[in-house]
Chain A
Amino acid sequence: EPEVTQTPSHQVTQMGQEVILRCVPISNHLYFYWYRQILGQKVEFLVSFYNNEISEKSEIFDDQFSVERPDGSNFTLKIRSTKLEDSAMYFCASNRGTSGNEQFFGPGTRLTVL
């Protein structure tokens, strides 16, 4: 069964460093998403991406964040200058985009900013 994959599973970085989180969505899906879950808190929407551009983003997704689909399979989230409060689990998701179609989530990348 096709699934969303994410690498790395755990990333440790120093405050102020840039990180890139990688995702491989399901191959025939057209919409891609990033969510994050700070430890002990709810899962929060960050951004959605369709047709090579951002279709929707939350207040969290400020200028420090960017997304890219560099090729036909990968979908990346970049944080330019990490802060302590960026420590969280980051989930990638994808779906075909048809009405009611559920999002399929990857296993997540745990980002720890020291």
Chain B
Amino acid sequence: AQSVTQLGSHVSVSEGALVLLRCNYSSSVPPYLFWYVQYPNQGLQLLLKYTTGATLVKGINGFEAEFKKSETSFHLTKPSAHMSDAAEYFCAVRETGTYKYIFGTGTRLKVLA
């Protein structure tokens, strides 16, 4: 069965520092992969997605992620953190043949001034 593991339930970075949020997935077939962000008291907003093609995908707000099949990873990065990036980030996988998403447990990002 497919699953998603997000290492680190809480990550703190200084403003201007690199953001790295880790996501590993388990899937028996080529997956579709997504990163969503959730700001306090709001819904889930799509940051970026990988379906097919280029393994490095760019999203909104300067975020990007690289699909590495050999490592079954889809880590989210941003070169320079901004205070407004403080939120909870969820990695999700959708296998072909099904429409449901499997979410990771989320990583809460804190940005320090």
Is chain B's interface secondary structure helix, strand, loop, or mixed overall? loop
Given A41-B105, A42-B105, A43-B90, are A102 and B100 also a contact pair (CB < 8 Å)? no
Q: Is the CB of B43 within 8 A of A48?
A: no
Binary B-proximity of A1-18 (CB < 8 A = 1, otherwise 0):
000100000000000000
- The number of A-B residue pairs with CB atoms under 8 Å apart is 54
Q: Is the CB of B43 within 8 A of A91?
A: yes
Binary B-proximity of A79-110 (CB < 8 A = 1, otherwise 0):
00000000000010101010110111111100
Give the interface residue-count category, chain A.
Answer: 20 to 34
Q: What number of B residues sit within 8 Å (CB to CB) of A?
A: 24
Interface residues of B in 41-79 (CB under 8 A from A): 41-46, 49, 51-52
Q: Is the CB of A43 within 8 A of B44?
A: yes
Residue of A nearest to B48 (CB): A102
B84 adjacent to chain A (CB < 8 Å): no
Interface residues of A (CB under 8 A from B): 4, 31, 33, 35, 41-45, 48, 55-56, 58, 91, 93, 95, 97, 99-100, 102-108
Q: Can you list 23 pairs linking A and B with CB atoms under 8 Å apart?
A: A31-B99, A33-B99, A35-B101, A35-B103, A41-B105, A42-B104, A42-B106, A43-B106, A44-B103, A48-B99, A48-B100, A55-B99, A56-B98, A56-B99, A56-B100, A91-B44, A95-B99, A100-B49, A100-B52, A105-B43, A106-B43, A107-B41, A107-B43
Interface residues of B (CB under 8 A from A): 32, 34, 36, 41-46, 49, 51-52, 90, 92, 96, 98-106
Closest 7 CB pairs of A and B: A100-B51, A105-B44, A107-B43, A43-B103, A45-B100, A105-B43, A42-B105
